[in-house]
Amino acid sequence: MENKHEIKVIDSLLPPEMARAAEEIGMAKASMGIRKTTMLAILAGTFIAFGAVFSTLVSTGSTMSWASRKVSTRQILQNWMIVYLGNMLGAFSIVLMIWLSGHYLFGDGIIGANILKIAAVKCELGFIQAVVLGILCNILVCLAIWLCYSTKSTHGKILAIVFPITAFVAAGFEHSVANMYFIPMGLFVKEWADPSLWTNVPEISQHIESLTWGTYLTRNLIPVTIGNILGGAGFVGITYWLIYSSKWSSNN
Q: Are 178 and 221 in contact (CB under 8 A)?
A: no
Higher pLDDT, 103 or 55: 103
At the top level of CATH, the class of 15-243 is mainly alpha
Domain ranges of the chain: 15-243
Q: What is the pLDDT of residues 27-79, one digit of tens each?
A: 555 556 677 667 666 655 565 554 443 332 333 344 745 455 666 777 777 77
| Contact of 190 with 208, CB cutoff 8 Å | yes
pLDDT in tens, 145-195: 777 777 777 888 888 888 887 887 788 899 998 899 999 999 999 999 988
Nearest-angstrom CA–CA distance, 222 and 228: 10
d(Cα 247, Cα 26) in Å, to the nearest integer?
A: 19
Give the residue among 12, 10, 242, 7 at the shortest CA–CA distance from 149.
12
